[in-house]
């Protein structure tokens, strides 16, 4: 008999499926759900978890006061330190269902800049997405559109995510910051506005969903004459 | 390129289609695979082969169409399966079980097959609402809109063409398995939860057959669909693809994904406009030149202060 959240899974099933992966749980003493890594099961059928701060807790497998969320978070762009990582999930043969690094494909904005800063200034580490960053996927914080334009252009951040699909990022050997949709640059940042490439005009409605009303005129559609505002 | 999937991979030529449709909306041939657990003494069923699957537990078996077939003949097989399995009270359709449907696409060109995949991506949240919403993250049939990595891979495949389709480029464990194309000439849809209900299966199969019918209808254009969604809503979009009758019969499923359907459309637009994205990226970078020293100096000054 296990917790209802695990359905008809046996202890062995739970270990095979979720050990060394992140899931979310909430105990009686917690204000809300938090993510933790399932480490194993003790002799008394207690589930061992490691919290993000390194603390370890044991919860009874049948404890009905504990709630679990086994779903994955919404993936996409996520702010990590001074840069952004685009996180996607890989379909592959596996038994593990929980969130873990080997099920993810990641792309950093901008890898070359991160490498350069590390090599020339020993800043940070060349790895751009650590195991400990996984939990940020559950509670991603997105930067306000204009703040992102400002801090990236000013060099205060390498990149900032403004939604799971968009980020503003500097790019190696490119003179101005760019607006990205997933892994493709779609516009150039100039001051407080973005000039979108005409090839991707279909993206405007999607972009306007995340840019506050009143700021839509800061999204400009580039034409040959460079004179039209995105409608 | 007008070459069909059949000639591209030198597959067996198509035989004459079934004359009668039965409960199905077209006579395209299909293959059906149904996984069941707790089947200690699985009975033989005419028209079905019995196999064992390592991913199943407790006497898990898989019933597979003995050959691809369409129309009323396929319906007869589904009826026989349901009747036979209804007598087995121990059988279970747990979370490990699923239904896989192969839709014959040997008569489509590569471009048409790609369109069918894009169309599937567009309505995938709705399709998962029908076949089991909880399965959109299933490790054996990961949906495109939740996985996203497959979308990047699809973009590459569409760009590179059919010769690039291999197990290193595509994973079988996606909700749509493209690797069945070179092997069987079919697209395999792996999303549906385990069931032997003929009604549920016919409903699911009709949705999949409708995707192919849409692609074959030259009067229709996938590119128009996002606009139909934004102007007339999700019912209009779904009715345009699946027909009013099918959508009305699945109204609850449609309404459950009123918002989620946009995620499917975004995935489809990524695929439809992949060339535009590439071009935009290339042009922007070329237009800005290669002198990034100004921005790099700002970053060094702000981020690398000891």
All residues of chain B having their beta carbon less than 8 Å from the beta carbon of residue A221 are: none
Q: Output the CA–CA distances (angstroms, integers) from residue A57 to A42, A60, B210, B223, in the order listed.
A: 11, 10, 51, 52
Question: How many beta-carbon contacts under 8 Å exist across A and B?
Answer: 137
pLDDT of residue A126: 63
Q: Residue A1: its pLDDT value, please? A: 60
Instruction: Give per-residue pLDDT as tens, B249-278.
Output: 999 999 999 999 999 999 999 999 999 999
A52-103 confidence digits (pLDDT tens):
888 899 988 888 889 999 888 889 999 999 999 999 998 877 778 888 888 8
Residue position matching structure tokens 């990226």 = B281
pLDDT tens-digit series, residues A141-157: 999 999 999 999 999 99
Cα A175 to the center of its chain, rounded Å:
26
Distances from the Cα of B98 to the Cα of A47, A226, B244, angstroms: 29, 53, 27
pLDDT in tens, B227-253: 999 899 999 999 999 999 999 999 999
Burial environment of residue B55 by CB neighbours within 10 A (0 to 12, 13 to 18, 19 or more):
middle
Mutate which: B295, B297, B302, B306, vs A, most A CBs within 10 A: B295
Which chain A residue lies closest to B262 (C-alpha atoms)?
A206
**Cβ within 8 Å, pair B299-A158:** yes
Q: How many helices (H) and strands (E) does chain A have?
A: 4, 15
Q: B-contacting residues of A 68-127, CB under 8 Å? A: 71-72, 75-76, 82, 88-97, 105, 113, 116-117, 120-121, 123
Both tokens assigned to B155: 């973009």
Residue among B44, B50, B107, B125 nearest B80 (CA): B44
ipTM, two decimals, is 0.85
The two tokens of residue A202 are 């279909």
Asked if A78 and A137 count as a contact pair (C-beta separation under 8 A), the reply is yes
The highest-confidence range among A121-130, B31-40, B133-142, by mean pLDDT, is B31-40
B137 or B304, which is more confident: B304
Which class for B278: exposed (0-12), middle (13-18), buried (19 or more C-beta within 10 A)? middle
According to the model, what pLDDT value does residue A227 have?
45
pLDDT category at B6 given cuts 50, 70, 90 is very high
Q: Is the backbone of residue A38 left (phi > 0), alpha (psi -120 to 50) or beta?
A: beta
pLDDT average, residue stretch B48-52: 93
Residue B203, helix vs strand vs coil: helix
Contact: A181, B277; criterion CB under 8 Å: yes
pLDDT at B149 over 50: yes
Say if residue B127's pLDDT is above 90: yes
DSSP count for chain B of H helices, then E strands: 14, 6
The full length of chain A comes to 231
**pLDDT score at A226:** 45
Are B283 and A183 inside 8 Å of each other by CB?
A: no
Q: How far is CA B283 from CA A178, A185, B166, B277, B295, in A?
A: 12, 9, 31, 10, 20
Which residue among B285, B291, B301 places its CB closest to the CB of A185? B285
Residue B191 tokens, joined: 């999303």
pLDDT score, position B306: 58
The residue that leads in pLDDT, B212 or B296, is B212
Cα B30 from Cα B12, distance rounded (Å): 15
Which residues from B are below 8 Å from A168, CB to CB?
Answer: none
* Residue A8 forms contact with B (CB below 8 Å): yes
Cα–Cα distance measured from residue A178 to residue A128, given in angstroms and rounded to the nearest whole number: 19
Q: What is the DSSP letter of B90?
A: T
- Crossing angle for the helix pair B198-216 and B71-86, nearest 10 degrees? 160
Integer angstrom CA distances of residue A77 from A133, A197, B147, B149 = 13, 21, 13, 13
Residues of B in contact with A183 (CB under 8 A): 152
Share the mean pLDDT of chain A.
86
In chain B, what residues touch A174 (CB-CB under 8 Å)?
285, 288-290, 292, 295
**Which one of A75, A123, A197 has the shortest CB-CB distance to B304?**
A123
DSSP labels, A213-231: TT-GGGEEE--SS--EE--
CB contact under 8 A, A96 and B139: yes
Reported as a single tens digit per residue, the pLDDT across A156-213 is 999 999 999 999 999 999 999 999 999 999 999 998 889 999 999 988 888 888 887 7
Looking at the complex, report in whole angstroms how far the Cα of residue B64 sits from the nearest Cα belonging to chain A.
21
Judge whether residue A225 has pLDDT over 60: no
Residue B17 pLDDT > 70, yes or no?
A: yes
- Closest residue on chain A to B227 (Cα): A202
- Residue numbers in B near A89 (CB within 8 A): 142, 146-149
Report CB contact under 8 Å: B284, A197.
yes
**Which positions in chain B touch A179 (Cβ < 8 Å)?**
none
Residue B290 has pLDDT above 90, yes or no: no
| Min distance A184 CA to chain B CA atoms (Å) | 6
**What are the tokens at B244?**
């009013």
The mean pLDDT of B80-85, rounded to a whole number, is: 96
Distance from CA of B108 to the nearest CA of A (A): 26
C-alpha dihedral sign at A85, B155, A223, A164:
negative
> Which among B137, B276, B289 is the nearest to A175, CB-wise?
B289
| Residue-level pLDDT at B266 | 92
Q: Are A58 and A48 in contact (CB under 8 A)?
A: yes
Partner residue opposite A185 with nearest CB, options B146, B149, B280: B280
Return the minimum-mean-pLDDT range out of B9-13, B170-174, B249-253. Answer: B170-174
Mutation target vs B (from A156, A184, A223; most B CBs, 10 A cutoff): A184
Residues B67, B29 contacting (CB under 8 angstroms): no
Does residue A6 or residue B261 have the better pLDDT? B261
User: Across chain B, what does the average pLDDT equal?
Assistant: 92
Question: Taking a contact as any Cβ pair under 8 Å apart, which residues of chain A between 163 and 202 contact chain B?
Answer: 165, 170-178, 181-188, 197, 199-200, 202
**Closest C-alpha to B75, from B20, B141, B35, B130:** B20
Q: Assign A228 a pLDDT band (cuts: 50, 70, 90).
A: very low
pLDDT at A231: 43
CB contact under 8 A, A121 and B300: yes
Residue A205 at interface with chain B, using a CB cutoff of 8 Å: yes
A208 alpha carbon, distance to own chain's centre:
21
- Specify the pLDDT at position A54: 86
Cβ atoms of A176 and A187 within 8 Å: the answer is: no
The CA distance from A27 to the nearest CA of chain B, in Å, is: 24
Q: Please state, in angstroms and rounded to a whole number, the distance separating the CA atoms of residues B269 and B229.
A: 13
Check A158 against B290: CB less than 8 A apart: no
Buried b / exposed e over A202-211, threshold 16 CB at 10 Å, is ebbebbeeeb
Confidence of residue B211 (pLDDT cuts 50, 70, 90): very high
SS3 B225: helix
Q: Is A56 at the interface with chain B, CB within 8 A?
A: no
Tokens encoding B250: 């699945």
Detail the DSSP E strand segments found in B27-120.
Answer: 30-36, 48-51, 61-65, 98-104
Q: What is the predicted pLDDT for the residue at A142?
A: 95
């Amino acid at each position: 008999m296990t917790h209802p959240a695990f359905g008809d899974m046996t202890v062995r099933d739970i270990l095979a499926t979720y050990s060394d992966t992140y899931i979310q749980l909430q105990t009686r003493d917690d204000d809300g759900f938090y993510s933790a890594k399932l480490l194993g099961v003790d002799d008394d059928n207690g589930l061992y978890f490691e919290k993000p701060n390194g603390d370890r807790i044991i919860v009874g497998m049948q404890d009905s006061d504990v709630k679990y969320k086994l779903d994955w978070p919404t993936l996409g762009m996520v702010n990590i330190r001074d840069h952004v990582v685009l996180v996607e999930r890989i379909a592959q043969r596996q038994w593990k269902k929980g969130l873990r690094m080997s099920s993810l494909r990641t792309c950093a904005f901008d890898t070359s800049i991160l490498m350069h800063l590390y090599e020339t200034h020993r800043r940070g580490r060349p790895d751009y997405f650590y195991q400990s960053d996984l939990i940020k996927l559950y509670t991603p914080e997105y930067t306000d559109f204009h703040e992102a334009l400002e801090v990236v252009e000013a060099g205060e951040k390498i990149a900032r995510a403004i939604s799971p699909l968009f980020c503003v990022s500097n790019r190696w050997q490119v003179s101005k910051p760019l607006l990205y949709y997933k892994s493709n640059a779609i516009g150039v940042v100039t001051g407080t506005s973005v000039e979108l490439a005409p090839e991707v005009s279909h993206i405007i409605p999607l972009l306007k969903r995340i840019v506050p009303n009143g700021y839509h005129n800061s999204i400009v559609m580039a034409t040959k004459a460079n004179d039209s505002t995105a409608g | 390129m007008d070459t069909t999937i059949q000639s591209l991979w030198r597959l067996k030529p198509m035989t004459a289609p079934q004359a009668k449709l039965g409960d199905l909306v077209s006579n395209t041939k299909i293959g059906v695979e149904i996984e069941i657990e707790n089947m200690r003494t699985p009975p033989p069923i005419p028209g079905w082969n019995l196999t064992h699957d390592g991913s199943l537990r407790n006497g898990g078996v898989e019933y597979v169409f003995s050959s691809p077939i369409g129309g009323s003949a396929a319906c007869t097989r589904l009826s026989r399966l349901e009747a036979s399995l209804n007598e087995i009270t121990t059988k279970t359709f747990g979370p490990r079980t699923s239904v896989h449907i192969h839709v014959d696409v040997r008569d489509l060109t590569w471009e048409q097959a790609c369109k069918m995949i894009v169309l599937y991506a567009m309505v995938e949240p709705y399709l998962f609402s029908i076949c089991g919403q909880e399965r959109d993250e299933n490790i054996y049939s990961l949906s495109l809109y939740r996985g996203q990595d497959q979308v990047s891979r699809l973009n590459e495949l569409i760009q590179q063409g059919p010769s690039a389709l291999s197990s290193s480029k595509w994973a079988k464990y996606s909700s749509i398995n493209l690797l069945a194309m070179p092997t069987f000439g079919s697209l395999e849809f792996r999303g549906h939860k385990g069931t032997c209900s003929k009604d549920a299966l016919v409903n699911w199969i009709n949705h999949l057959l409708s995707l192919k019918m849409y692609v074959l209808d030259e009067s229709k254009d996938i590119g128009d669909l996002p606009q139909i969604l934004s102007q007339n809503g999700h019912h209009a979009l779904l009715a345009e693809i699946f027909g009013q009758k099918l959508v009305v019969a699945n109204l609850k499923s449609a309404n459950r994904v009123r918002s989620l359907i946009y995620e499917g459309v975004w995935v489809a637009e990524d695929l439809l406009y992949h060339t535009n994205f590439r071009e935009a990226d290339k042009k922007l970078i070329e237009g800005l030149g290669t002198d990034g020293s100004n921005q790099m100096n700002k970053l060094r000054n702000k981020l690398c202060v000891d």
